[in-house]
Structure 1
């Protein structure tokens, strides 16, 4: 009893930390793996492993090889895709190695449990717990359930932060484009057309001639966009300027302005 209480306290510490500080999911798995004493894999519904941690005692020469492609073996996904509830304490006496070139696992008696993660009533990911030689006890299952809750909450929080960040980036691009004059918008569109991808070199005089503006207008547009952290620039002397797009919303905002010049001004 004292052992599980101690582990729950350690899980509570992890939970408190994740509630106030951003923790990369791999680092979170490392902490949880050390507490529960089993391998932990986080994967999406396509079977792609996006975070994991392998317990020290279960490391083998093929550990890195088996995770090279970061894809969960299909036999796990077959179970996962057919079930919307937790699958606990599955047993394999002589398990297959997850590395394709090795037929049998170096460990015997593999026990595993899988827990689905839901968002808005939709299964979006899963957690796989693996242990060898020792089955998951009832106490371990409680810890796994608690771990699943911690990971689910942290994933949801990080997803919300990502959505918030993307919204802020879109709003920043809209405000910056709206701050440009008509001539500066023309120059900015021509610059983006000239560099095609995410970065490239432009010549201010060439852009000015193409848009029937002046080099100072082109330079002014670049300064405004750089101050808004939508782009980064480097002077290339007589070659002009090297430009890197930092906010992909810039291109879509300028395209929207071109389609509706009166509504976005």
Structure 2
């Protein structure tokens, strides 16, 4: 018994160690943890949207895929989750309801489940639902679930931090690039973005040049600078002009700043 617990802890440590050096998609992380713990795992946000999950093969049933199509946690779980900010461990249903539509009784009996909240910056931002049938969670299992929650929480926080870093980097890149453009290039860039509605579309360099009272070479130069900074991508369409697609949404923010105060 003790050897089995130690093996599971070692396996969890391996997952934790890997997540510390490599980004693991949450869906893949759930699959690894599900295999170690031998239970279903669902990660969900405060609105009940399931953004990652894994189902143990032994608990597969004809309705499980259908119940997950909408990626929404059943309301009665969310009522429990919203009722308090502490973990709810060792909950039990002798004759559980199916989580899919009006099927009624679940294929399995004796549903044991636990709900753990996940906090970020002292706010409850998500939750983890563990479900097992027939065999209840032992005290050792509950410890493993707590450890699993810590692994998931840390990984989610790290991914959020990395996302924030990327967004910050994109904003800085857009700011520096737009500031490096000449006054005429900024005018041309703004006209191009308006032409494609700040998304994507075809533009004619001569038409933009005529509209902004600049030379076609100025328009071309502005596009090249924006593309080198990966703010946009372009593709020549020959006589049809140039296809332009915005890659960094912060470009709009910076060009609108110029529009509000062109001589800043």
Q: State the TM-score, normalizing by the size of structure 2.
A: 0.98
What's the CA shift for 1:102?
1.4
Q: How far does residue 197 in structure 1 lie from its aligned partner after superposition?
A: 4.3
- Residues 1:204 and 2:214 are matched in the alignment: no
Is it true that 1:33 corresponds to 2:34 in the alignment? yes
Residue deviations 1:139-172 (CA, integer Å, cap 9, x gap): 1000000000000000000000000000000000
In the TM superposition, residue 94 of structure 1 has moved relative to its aligned partner by: 1.2
Asked if residue 7 in structure 1 is aligned to residue 8 in structure 2, the reply is yes
Deviation digits for residues 41-99 of structure 1, max 9, x if unmatched?
A: 00000000000000010011111100001000000000000111000111111111111
- SS where residue 162 of structure 2 aligns? helix
Gaps of 5+ in 1: none
2:252 corresponds to which residue? 251
Instruction: Please state if 1:18 is matched with 2:16.
Output: no
Structure 2 CA distance for aligned equivalents of residues 132 and 221 of structure 1: 62
Provide the C-alpha distance between the structure 1 equivalents of 2:21 and 2:139, rounded to a whole number of angstroms: 30
How many residues align? The count is 263
- After TM superposition, the structure 1 stretch with the greater mean CA deviation from structure 2, 228-237 or 97-106, is 97-106
Q: Tell me the equivalent position of 1:214.
A: 215
The secondary structure found in structure 1 opposite 2:144 is helix
Which residue in 2 is equivalent to 1:59?
Answer: 60
RMSD after superposition: 0.7
8 A contact 2:112–2:132 mirrored in 1: yes
TM-score (norm 1): 0.98
Once the two structures are superposed, the pairs formed by residues 88-237 of structure 1 within 5 Å of their partners are 88-237=89-238
Q: Which secondary structure state, in structure 2, belongs to the residue aligned with residue 50 of structure 1?
A: strand
- Structure 2 unaligned spans of 5+: none
